[in-house]
Amino acid sequence: MYHCHLLDHEDEGMMRPLVILPAPALELHLRMAGMHAGMAGHQH
């Protein structure tokens, strides 16, 4: 988690989880996210 101690900054997104992945895991995550985003417009 990275954060700023100024509450106004926290409200503007300066407090978020930070995930560190090895490059192959990040590539897989991005590929999977792209596949799910492409399916969003399809009706089942």
Residue 24 maps to a domain: yes
Using CA atoms, how far residue 12 sits from 2, 3, 19, 20, in Å, is 13, 11, 19, 22
The predicted model scores a pTM of 0.43
Strand-pair category, 15-16 with 2-3: antiparallel
Q: Is residue 26 part of a domain?
A: yes
Residue 43 is assigned to a structural domain of this protein: yes
Residue at 38 is within a domain: yes
Query: Consecutive 10-residue runs of the chain (44 residues): their mean pLDDT?
Result: 70 76 91 77 50
* Residue 44: per-residue pLDDT: 45
DSSP-derived secondary structure letter, 15: E
Position 15 scores a pLDDT of 73
Tally of structural domains, the chain: 1
